[in-house]
Amino acid sequence: MAKYISKRILYMIFIFFIMSLLLFFLYNLIPGDPARAELEGVKTKITPEEYQYRYEQARIRMGLDDPLIIRYAKWLGGTLKLDFGMSQVYKQPVATVIKQPMKNTIFINIFAVGLALAITIPLGIYCAVKRNSLFDKLIQVLTIVGYSLPTFIISLLFIFAFAVKLEWFPVSGMATPNFTGSSLEVFKDKLWYLALPLGVMTIGSLGGLTRYIRAAMSDALSMDYIKTARAKGLTEKVVIFSHAWRNALLPIITLLIGWLISVFSGSLVVESMFNLNGMGKFYINALTSQDYNVALAIQLFYIVIALLGNLITDLSYGLVDPRVRVNK
């Protein structure tokens, strides 16, 4: 196992360097001059000579006159020290700028993932056990409808029903402005604002995951070892959870871990619809405002998360099913 993990870590490091090289070169091929963009606000307030002097100094400070490979080496050295450079828009270190959106995204998605798993896992198992029953057919229809509806349509329906008509929840934002109170009151106020986006994210993920779990459990329940287990006189609860569910987890675990890893990526549609300061919306804003240091740091973070997710997925196979060996 240790040898396998070591090989995978070396592989992950290699992939990280290749992707960082490609991304750095791609972002630097985008037309634009960061030095000119930095001085755009004072261009009309200074003389042409002063502007030219500041422009040249800015290029030297940013290393824009160095060959591209030298710039990559300097940038990579800083990145490995968690120094991602300065944000051109916020005039602050990138690590400081992305901290709050990342906290918001993790907070929102942890609740959404927890709610969705708490619903979809028992619902998918029950539908597989009661396959072709009236309840199963009803759930299949509802999941198809939920899976087919775009997220922005679900968002509009939630806003119309719960914010406009019933007036239960606010439409946008993450907290009441200038709200003061105890930690519990602040937490409850935040959940009140996030109720609608959490509901949209949960409903949007129910359809696909429920159908996937149902299909995996249906396949497991149709296997011969399930018939053997029942013939031995084992209770239905033991047959379902100790035999069928354990084997159904192998195809499901890839989806589940990938879904859990997505708590860091954010949801662009939901964050835009409800005006949430999360990673998805923040990343798009960085691209549109040409704040490439921020965009590049976020993209590299996603790459690291994806690589770790693949490693965790492979290791989880051995934990779920001892017959699977990942030591080669």
Task: Please tell me whether residues 309 and 193 are part of one structural domain.
Answer: yes
Range(s) of the domain holding residue 301:
101-320
Whether 310 maps to a domain, the answer reads: yes
Kindly report, residue by residue over 129-166, the tens digit of the pLDDT.
888 889 888 888 888 887 777 888 888 888 888 888 88
pLDDT recorded at residue 328: 53
Domain count across the chain: 2
Task: Please tell me whether residues 256 and 130 are part of one structural domain.
Answer: yes
Task: Please tell me whether residues 242 and 142 are part of one structural domain.
Answer: yes
In order, the DSSP letters of 213-276 are HHHHHHHHHTSHHHHHHHHTT--HHHIIIIIIHHHHHHHHHHHHHHHHHGGGT--HHHHHHTT-
Whether 1 maps to a domain, the answer reads: no
Whether 152 maps to a domain, the answer reads: yes
Q: pLDDT band for position 52 (50/70/90)? A: confident
Amino acid at 194: L
Q: Is the pLDDT of residue 314 over 80?
A: no
Tokens of residue 191, six digits: 């959940």
